[in-house]
A and B are shown apart, each in its own frame.
Chain A
Amino acid sequence: MKHTPRKATLQVNQNEGLIFEKSSAGKAAWKLPPLDVPEADTAKLLGASERKDLGNMPEVSEIEIIRHFTRLSTWNYAIDLGMYPLGSCTMKYNPRVNEAVARVEGIANGHPYQPESISQGALYIIKTLSEQLIEITGMDAITLQPAAGAHGEMTGLLMVRAYHESKGNARKKILIPDSAHGTNPATAAMVNYAVENLKSDSRGMVDIAALASQMNEDVAALMLTNPNTLGVFEQQIHKIADILHAKGGLLYMDGANMNALVGKVRPGDFGVDVMHLNLHKTFSTPHGGGGPGSGPVAIKKGLEPFLPTPVVTTKSDGTLTFDYNRPHSVGRVRAFYGNFGMFVRALAYIQANGPDGLRQTTEDAVLNANYIRKGLEGTYDLPYSTPTMHEVVFSDKLQLKKGVRTMDLAKRLIDYGFHPYTTAFPLIVPGALMIEPTESESKEEMDLFIEAMKSIAEEVEEDPQTVLDAPHSTRVSRLDETAAARKPVLRWKPAS
């Protein structure tokens, strides 16, 4: 191979079947202590409700479980191995002290219904994180209850709706830019709002004239991602807010890209009324293969009565308590108080950074993205020349001439030892390559990335088939997704 990756080398990794294929009767990985009460007479206690058979549940030993999952783990790419430049996902380093403190006895084993007198530690964590997120966003109040970003969007729009209802008119629709995440329109539908598309202008920003003409008393809110999914900061943000507010509408900010703003600018200062954060993006809680997330929603004063119940407040004696008596609340969006374990991690992250660290983090994230932009400009088509912040979006326009698309380039990047960028999003860029390095990458790592991307571009010219057939270095080659969807096999079954 002419283009030899500098970042990665092939290595043998272990084969491993499904755990069910290792199971056989009599093997076990468990041992219970002897019972200190009389044995249960299951037939008497349960009658017809007694279960007799657990079907094909596995029977394996402990070492087999360890090897099984360890082998599986080696088939995954991860931030711990290298750059993971998925745009809009903010794949940053997950500090290990976060994991350690989340496992301290009273935090890991606290029961959500234990008396408040012995829950002051957890309540203090909720209160402290809430206050710090309010300071970071420049908003007035917050709920930590939503379990993920999309759940936060739903909570935010429920509050938007309650706010308008309190003014006598719930309104009918939500304006959503064509560059938005799919969760935005899906959420609007869940809260029974119609979705109206808002076009971007030639610079990739909200078209102010279009907004002004589409804005009327039927519009409940605009859901805006800022910086947007092109990585572009909406420079006319004050005008956007003014247009909405003049007609009684609210500005909702999708905080997915907050990593570009922390410590440098606060949404509450530029006219945002409601916003959600993703603790698993901006605040370093691990993505864990797709969750758990956490999606706090911060709001301005006028929406405070509508926060989900309960809300943590301070009693006259200085102790903390949950306030359930909130007659205007939108209700509860999740049992208990949200993904508390993620609050612990996010707070530990903020503590480790302090004000200077958070600012430096944001600066480095934006610096990294712009360094990549500079490094790949010319090699890949840059559809919008507008300055960008924490991420940059190229297109596959130049490579398409050889029949190579963004997904092919992405698959080839795997052979170079990198996780691919986000492909084919945002929808306003045909064949998008959406790259977000985050602050966690060193100059060396990014130089390797730029080198890899350039090398792939050369391969497209010289030998496009190599790119079209990629990846070549993985356990499995490209998988047949069409067959998977046409005749879904969603579980293992014993050979009959």
Chain B
Amino acid sequence: MRYLPKSPADREAMLKAIGLRSVDDLFAPIPAEYRLTRDLNIPRQMAESEIVNFFRQRSRENGEDYTSFLGAGAYFHYRPVIIDSLISRGEFLTAYTPYQAEISQGTLQSIFEFQTMICELTGMEVANASMYDGSTAAAEAVMMAVRLTGRRSVVVARSLHPEYREVLATYATHQGMPLLVAGFTDDGRLDLKELEKSITPETACVLLQSPNFFGTIEDVDAIAEIVHKRGAMLVVSIAEAVSLGIVEPPRQADIVAMEAQSFGVPLGFGGPYCGVIATREKYVRQMPGRLVGQTVDKQGRRGFVLTLATREQHIRREKATSNICTNQALVALMVNIFMNVYGKVGLRELAKQNLAKTAYAASQFAKPGKVLFDGTPRFNEFVVQTTEDPYAINGRLLGHKMVGGLPLKKFYPELGNAALWCCTELTTRSAIDTAVGVVAESERSVRPAREEAEEVAR
């Protein structure tokens, strides 16, 4: 086996040194009746070339040459080449959690820089080293608010990513945390009146997303005022990190739970991604996940260590803030490099291009269809309502090697024939025009038929 660095003679010599006759003796502690006496029923060893061919074939079956208008929590942005050059260095790729600080300063310093940049971007004071993803970060942030307030009930915006809501519901099930959902209004934002009514003295926090699932930007200041007036905490989820380049961050939030996938992490069919939690300094001891802090060595030289470990499972066991152990360090490194590449000016310019493409696309889609929540500030996603079922429209688009917006019926039946479209800096004007053309054509063919049917019905 090509990954194993031993010759048969090495194995013989080692067995002899141990004082054993055969390798079977090493497995003697396993009761004989359970030992496997056959080969595992899996395919034979494959050559590297065969493995590459296998995955190239899978790639071809996986829409590798389609143009996509999908977003909804997973965004297709350009990934600068140096991200993979740098994360492929074995010293980053094949190291583990930096428990031994003296030989892990590379990982530790880069996490410290990551924490700093996340603070700068979110307007928070401290950020952790990463969480699994945006959905679990949101759930963990809510549990953190429950610990901090001593209250148990949670209000969740219906405009939060539906799968994030599902994850929170799973986490909350056995924590005795009642979840209330607050709806959205015609402008595609959280219904403030409903919010006000939902918050009780038992409400630990309100969780919302901004830009929300529809791409519209919530009025975080107004929401924060309502939430804080009642002694609850505000948790803001950010699923599209690029928005932070041009959209004011939720500075009034108590906890920000982010998904940083947009910053240089491949779509990868949904993972691995990079969650992060950021918060106020005074709440840091209830924050889950790893944290890197600055300190000095015996000679007074600057160095970095994992710190505040007394929050964590390996010290606190069942009293820990979370069971989280491994996080997403290598993915956080991709995010880190991306933030360095674009930096203070580039992130804004990048976000502006997303804004411009989306504004153009929304104006074009408004001709054949109806763009919902128009007039409310949005970032790079928008909802298009059509006469025809979006699944049918998407079927036609596939013929043009295009993937249309995400049909919303499954998550928001009240919106009817609606789909969530996304444009990034990589979306071309010609792709937008083609998609709009297909939607227009599809609407032309469906509308008369439907009007006729309605006529008959009347």
Within 8 Å by CB of A50, from B33, B248, B319, lies B248
Selected A-B contacts with CB under 8 Å, 16 pairs: A18-B109, A81-B91, A106-B63, A107-B62, A112-B269, A148-B132, A192-B176, A264-B30, A287-B97, A290-B327, A290-B329, A332-B166, A340-B272, A352-B51, A356-B1, A361-B1
Asked whether any CB of chain A lies closer than 8 Å to the CB of B437, the reply is no
- Scoring A75, A237, A358 by chain B CB atoms within 10 A of each residue's CB, the highest score goes to A75
Chain A residues with CB under 8 Å of B291's CB are 488, 490
Complex Cα distance A339/B328, Å?
Answer: 10
Contact A110 B249 (CB under 8 A): no
Within 8 Å by CB of B294, from A352, A477, A489, lies A489
- Scoring A37, A39, A150, A181 by chain B CB atoms within 10 A of each residue's CB, the highest score goes to A37
Identify 11 new A-B residue pairs, CB closer than 8 A, beyond the known A50-B248, A73-B91. A36-B428, A38-B359, A42-B352, A54-B348, A78-B92, A94-B94, A118-B66, A147-B271, A151-B324, A331-B167, A475-B105
Contact A28 B346 (CB under 8 A): yes
Asked whether any CB of chain B lies closer than 8 Å to the CB of A115, the reply is yes
Scan residues 383-403 of chain A and give those whose CB is less than 8 A from a CB of chain B. 386-387, 389
Asked whether any CB of chain B lies closer than 8 Å to the CB of A461, the reply is no
Contact A107 B269 (CB under 8 A): yes
Contact A76 B107 (CB under 8 A): yes
When A30-B350, A114-B403 are in contact, do A119 and B344 touch as well, CB less than 8 Å? no
Complex Cα distance A105/B266, Å?
Answer: 10
Nearest Cβ distance between residue A496 and chain B, in whole angstroms? 15
Contact B30 A74 (CB under 8 A): no
Complex Cα distance A65/B336, Å?
Answer: 10
Contact A97 B52 (CB under 8 A): yes
Contact B86 A340 (CB under 8 A): no
Within 8 Å by CB of A233, from B29, B44, B112, B296, lies B29
Contact B406 A113 (CB under 8 A): yes
A364-375 contact mask (Cβ, 8 Å, vs B): 1 or 0: 101110110011
Scan residues 382-405 of chain B and give those whose CB is less than 8 A from a CB of chain A. 394, 398, 403
Contact B42 A269 (CB under 8 A): no
Chain B residues with CB under 8 Å of A135's CB are 40-42
Asked whether any CB of chain B lies closer than 8 Å to the CB of A209, the reply is no
Contact B272 A147 (CB under 8 A): yes
Complex Cα distance A460/B67, Å?
Answer: 65
A249-264 contact mask (Cβ, 8 Å, vs B): 1 or 0: 0000000000000111
**In this complex, what residue of A is CB-closest to B59?**
A106
Asked whether any CB of chain B lies closer than 8 Å to the CB of A360, the reply is yes
Contact B323 A72 (CB under 8 A): no
Contact A107 B268 (CB under 8 A): yes
Contact B341 A334 (CB under 8 A): no
Chain B residues with CB under 8 Å of A190's CB are 171, 174-175, 322-323
Contact A442 B10 (CB under 8 A): yes
Chain A residues with CB under 8 Å of B10's CB are 442-443
Number of contacting residues on A, CB 8 A? 195
Contact B326 A291 (CB under 8 A): yes
Asked whether any CB of chain A lies closer than 8 Å to the CB of B415, the reply is no
Chain B residues with CB under 8 Å of A32's CB are 346, 349-350, 353, 425
Contact A442 B74 (CB under 8 A): no
Complex Cα distance A442/B97, Å?
Answer: 24
Complex Cα distance A288/B320, Å?
Answer: 24
Within 8 Å by CB of B293, from A59, A336, A488, lies A488
Chain A residues with CB under 8 Å of B19's CB are 374
Within 8 Å by CB of B343, from A29, A294, A491, lies A29
Within 8 Å by CB of A95, from B3, B65, B328, B346, lies B3
**In this complex, what residue of A is CB-closest to B126?**
A490
Nearest Cβ distance between residue A81 and chain B, in whole angstroms? 7
Contact A336 B359 (CB under 8 A): no
Asked whether any CB of chain A lies closer than 8 Å to the CB of B446, the reply is no
Complex Cα distance A114/B30, Å?
Answer: 46
Chain A residues with CB under 8 Å of B268's CB are 102, 107-110, 340-341
Contact B58 A125 (CB under 8 A): yes
Q: Which 6 A-B pairs have the closest CB atoms?
A: A288-B330, A336-B270, A106-B64, A80-B90, A106-B59, A121-B62
Contact A97 B51 (CB under 8 A): yes
**In this complex, what residue of A is CB-closest to B302?**
A476
Complex Cα distance A130/B445, Å?
Answer: 44
Which stretch, A153-161, A210-218, A297-305, touches the partner chain B?
A153-161
Contact A354 B44 (CB under 8 A): yes
Chain A residues with CB under 8 Å of B42's CB are 132, 135-136, 350, 354-355, 358
Scan residues 322-359 of chain A and give those whose CB is less than 8 A from a CB of chain B. 330-342, 344, 348, 350-359
Contact A37 B314 (CB under 8 A): no
- Scoring A56, A150, A358, A484 by chain B CB atoms within 10 A of each residue's CB, the highest score goes to A484
Complex Cα distance A337/B74, Å?
Answer: 12
Contact A93 B327 (CB under 8 A): no
Contact A355 B39 (CB under 8 A): yes
Nearest Cβ distance between residue A303 and chain B, in whole angstroms? 16
Asked whether any CB of chain B lies closer than 8 Å to the CB of A495, the reply is no
Complex Cα distance A352/B350, Å?
Answer: 41
Chain B residues with CB under 8 Å of A38's CB are 356, 359-360
Complex Cα distance A334/B133, Å?
Answer: 8
Contact B295 A374 (CB under 8 A): no
Asked whether any CB of chain B lies closer than 8 Å to the CB of A12, the reply is no
Complex Cα distance A485/B248, Å?
Answer: 32
When A57-B121, A121-B59, A371-B18 are in contact, do A353 and B45 touch as well, CB less than 8 Å? yes
A52-91 contact mask (Cβ, 8 Å, vs B): 1 or 0: 0011111110100110111111111111110010100101
Asked whether any CB of chain A lies closer than 8 Å to the CB of B28, the reply is yes
Contact B59 A107 (CB under 8 A): yes
Chain B residues with CB under 8 Å of A169's CB are none
**In this complex, what residue of B is CB-closest to A66?**
B82
Within 8 Å by CB of B116, from A42, A106, A387, A491, lies A491
Contact A45 B61 (CB under 8 A): no
Asked whether any CB of chain A lies closer than 8 Å to the CB of B453, the reply is no
When A55-B120, A76-B95, A414-B102 are in contact, do A30 and B62 touch as well, CB less than 8 Å? no
Complex Cα distance A228/B388, Å?
Answer: 59
B56-78 contact mask (Cβ, 8 Å, vs A): 1 or 0: 11111111111010101110100
Contact A186 B60 (CB under 8 A): no
When A151-B132, A442-B6 are in contact, do A59 and B343 touch as well, CB less than 8 Å? yes
Chain A residues with CB under 8 Å of B430's CB are 36
Asked whether any CB of chain B lies closer than 8 Å to the CB of A474, the reply is yes
B302-323 contact mask (Cβ, 8 Å, vs A): 1 or 0: 0111011110111111111011
Chain B residues with CB under 8 Å of A342's CB are 271-272
Asked whether any CB of chain B lies closer than 8 Å to the CB of A103, the reply is yes
Contact A291 B329 (CB under 8 A): yes
Chain B residues with CB under 8 Å of A410's CB are 100
Chain B residues with CB under 8 Å of A420's CB are 100
Chain B residues with CB under 8 Å of A351's CB are 43, 45-46, 50-51, 54
Contact A352 B2 (CB under 8 A): yes
Contact A491 B132 (CB under 8 A): no
Complex Cα distance A72/B72, Å?
Answer: 35
Chain B residues with CB under 8 Å of A106's CB are 58-65
Asked whether any CB of chain B lies closer than 8 Å to the CB of A292, the reply is yes
**In this complex, what residue of A is CB-closest to B315?**
A182
Nearest Cβ distance between residue B32 and chain A, in whole angstroms? 10
Chain A residues with CB under 8 Å of B33's CB are 238
Complex Cα distance A84/B112, Å?
Answer: 24
